[in-house]
Amino acid sequence: MLSGLRGAVRGSGVAASCCRFLLKLPLEESAERARLPAIMIGEPTQALLGEVFDRQDLFSGLWPIRRRIVRWGAADTVDLPHRAIVVSEAELLERLRPPTPEAPIPKSPMSEPDWTIHTARLPEGGTRHGFGTREAAAAQVSLSPRADATACVMESMPSGWLFLVPVSADTAWLLAAGAEREALLEESRLVRSSVGEVISEGGRFPAYPRIVDPLAGNTWLACGSAALAFDPLCGDGTGQAVREAILACAVIEAASGGVPQEELIEEYRLRLRAGFARHLQICEPFYATGGDSAWWRAEHAPLREGLAWLAERPGQARFQLRGLHLERRSDLFAKL
């Protein structure tokens, strides 16, 4: 996308891989956090990654998910078609590496980057706002003989939720939020029948939406997990990371072409806040209807607070994203 740019990307996740590829920067090894054991990627995100990396074989041979079964709150169980694959974050990043070794790019220790994209750690001076307190505990489990190994299963109980994602014909990852996993499985009327034995524990991680403020500043942009984090039930975090990377690189390209920096920074902030608002809007009905216990009420209220917080930060898009490039809008009243 750009060549000869004095840029830097801090981090090593999906957003970092996309930014480095688009900006033609050298790959860097980093281990700022543990890798996710399983990521479910839908067809739109698969297509987007294929376009960015100009690869049609990125997801060949990965485990397919063809159904999404949901039992939520007082509603009847719903069985929907679903088109996705499951991959570990480590394997996904390996697949995103260039297919052939690239020639090393000379580094100039005396040259400061024009822009820095932070994709993992909180940029200096930023504040992370979280809308909830829940954590999810992950465990690798065996699938029972009754389980459909191509179906992910979501279920709410009075004390929390369970999310089962198969990764092979006989194993899956089980996420549990709220009460402890054993207690939730005791309450379960859907997920429990698909779960066999616990194979290994996978640790705990925050499962509520988070956003950094500010999202960009003078010569830096927050991207990927350094900018936003989604609830694993309700959002496509991988797709969001790719879209943010495309936008970040488009901002840098536009800045290098002479577009005023302050306009681009405001556009970047606006678009990421809009994406986060859409995520909260998806989450809100899940937590409004999942249950009426104190736990559900405590996790629902912050989502409404988050939407109100975002509503206090309005803005107007001045650019449109065409492919990998930002162009000034001719109609400033058009919506994002």
Q: Which of these, 329, 332, 215, 206, lies nearest to 276 by C-alpha position?
A: 215
Domains, the chain, in order of start with CATH, read 7-37+88-104+111-132+208-328 (3.50.50.60)
Q: Is the predicted pLDDT of residue 120 greater than 90, yes or no? A: no
Q: Is the predicted pLDDT of residue 279 greater than 90, yes or no? A: yes
Q: Is the predicted pLDDT of residue 107 greater than 60, yes or no? A: no
Predicted TM-score (pTM) above 0.95: no
Kindly provide the residue ranges of all beta strands, DSSP E only, lying in the chain, ordered along the sequence: 7-10, 39-42, 63-71, 78-87, 115-118, 127-130, 135-143, 151-157, 160-166, 171-178, 195-206, 210-213, 216-217, 220-222, 228-229, 319-322, 325-328
Task: Report, as an integer, the average pLDDT of 110-135.
Answer: 84
Could you count the other beta carbons within 10 Å of the beta carbon of residue 8? 18
Q: Is the predicted pLDDT of residue 320 greater than 70, yes or no? A: yes
Q: Give pLDDT tens digits for 295-304.
A: 999 999 999 9
Structure tokens at 95: 């697949």
